[in-house]
Amino acid sequence: MHIMEGFLPIEHAVGWAVASVPFVAYGIGSIKKQIEANLEQRMLLGVAAAFTFVLSALKLPSVTGSCSHPTGTGLGALLFGPAAMAPIGLVVLLFQALLLAHGGLTTLGANLFSMAIVGPFAAVALFRLTRRLRLSFAVSVFIAASLADFLTYVTTSAQLAWAFPDPTGGVVASFAKFAGIFAITQIPLAISEGLLTVVIFNALARFNPQELKDMNVVNPPEVSA
Amino acid sequence: MLIEQCAYANRWRRVSPAAKALFALSGLVASFAASTPMAAVAVVCLLAAVTWIGAGVPVGRYLRVAAPAFFFLATSCLSLAFSLNLNSDGQALSFQLTPAGLQKVDEVSGRSLGALAALLFLVLTTPLIDLIALLRRLKTPEVLLEIMILCYRMLFVFSDAVHDTLTAQSARLGYATSRLALRSLGGLAANLTVQVWQRAHDLHVAAQARNNDGPLRFLEPTFAHTGRDVALAAAGGSVLIALAVVLS
């Protein structure tokens, strides 16, 4: 869910952009190091960005019957790592604004923070935590992907609530309103996205175990196919 | 993609991208400067009219591109207009329509529509490849530019692969029920995921075969009359900002 162009007041728009800058800079730095070590990486990231863009345009059958689009933040973070997702996310969000008029230039910083920073870092942290708790691979992927999606939406609601506090109830009431309205579409979407990510990883484990091992997503003994 | 079609087929395709970006930037500034609904409406109308009449973008197509943003605006304004009272005694929750909320809706929707009109002006008149060239001149980090160029070129390759796979899966009733749809979609995405590495490897081999290990540069189109276009855009943009300030 993208905040539309011009929706946030100027201070918030600038503030979120400034907050996102260190993550993007760190991501670019880590990408540069990866490219120096392995030149093939430079092609990989561009292709990964295109993949994320196309994935986000797919229609996902949602539990309530309405169609939604997956965010792909959980999948991308598990495959490419959370640091690389900030620059990839920047390009994808910029392209969504420029090619689909989805999101915007002034709200790029806020959208980037919720989708390409909070979502991916949450996904990887949750995945590591659930793996450490010895939950199965499928359950870990489901929790990581669906909660990453869910936290992205919570962050967006918090951004909107902070920018537009309720005249009587303040930020808390405003958060309840935004989160309540978007919950109708976002909670089923988070569940569908979690399920989809599990199906994707199952298909990968079945047909392409070598690629999964190369990406360090799973430990070698776990891929049995 | 509707926006791509307009960006390549509009009347101002050959106008300097720097000029169009400057005008769009003025539009953004004007929509943030406009503090009354009257001023915001004037900015929106002027920007839309320039896009429709000046660049010759069809009105129907323009509205179809803007439709998803309208949906977001409508749902968000709904929650701005109603105030939630958490501390009322009788009921746990109560909603009320407040004048302050309605005023906020006016202000926010005016600003959003103005900024949206400015964004649409830019994207409907300027192909992405021109914008990337402009970003290169504005000293954007090379790594980001490379991701953008590759992303833009691979986008259509992947879209094509998605389209073909969807057709093949649908022909085998892959989307007959929602359960099957999820399974088919998972297969499709997994297949695409593997293609990411295969295609990246192919591109790498192709680049190595041409001794390319540095930036990916392409011939950029040249625009005659850049100076004149930028001057005109600056004048138009100033009028827009002045209008917003005067009417506020």
- The percent of residues above 90 in pLDDT, for chain A, comes to 36
Q: Which of B115, B131, B193 sits opposite A98 (nearest CB)?
A: B131
Chain B residues inside the 8 Å CB shell of A202: 186, 190
* CB proximity A196 to B under 8 Å: yes
Size of interface A-B (CB pairs under 8 A): 241
Reported as type and span, the H/E element at residue B12 is: none
For B83-141, how does the pLDDT look when each residue is reduced to its tens digit (9 = 90+)?
A: 776 665 555 566 777 777 788 888 889 999 999 999 999 999 999 999 999 999 999 88
Q: Which of A2, A48, A207 sits opposite B196 (nearest CB)?
A: A48
* CB proximity B112 to A under 8 Å: yes
Interface test with chain A among B76, B108, B210, by most A beta carbons within 10 Å? B76
Please report the ipTM that was assigned to this predicted complex.
0.90
Q: Which residues pair with B64 in a beta bridge?
A: none
Fold of A10-222: Arp2/3 complex 21 kDa subunit ARPC3 (1.10.1760)
The domains of chain A are located at: 10-222
Residue carrying the six token digits 């929650």: B79
Q: Which residues pair with B97 in a beta bridge?
A: B82
Confidence of residue A178 (pLDDT cuts 50, 70, 90): confident
B248 Cβ contact list (under 8 Å, min separation 6): B33, B34, B35, B36, B39
> Would you state the pLDDT for residue A225?
40
* CB proximity A181 to B under 8 Å: yes
Q: What Cα–Cα distance (Å) separates residue A60 from each residue in A46, A89, B2, B31? A: 24, 20, 21, 35
Q: Say yes or no to pLDDT of B217 above 50.
A: yes
* CB proximity B63 to A under 8 Å: no
Reported as type and span, the H/E element at residue B149 is: helix B142-171
Q: Answer yes or no: do A168 and B84 touch at CB < 8 A.
A: yes
Residue of B nearest to A29 (CA): B143
A window 81-140, beta carbon within 8 A of B? 87-88, 90-92, 94-95, 97-102, 104-106
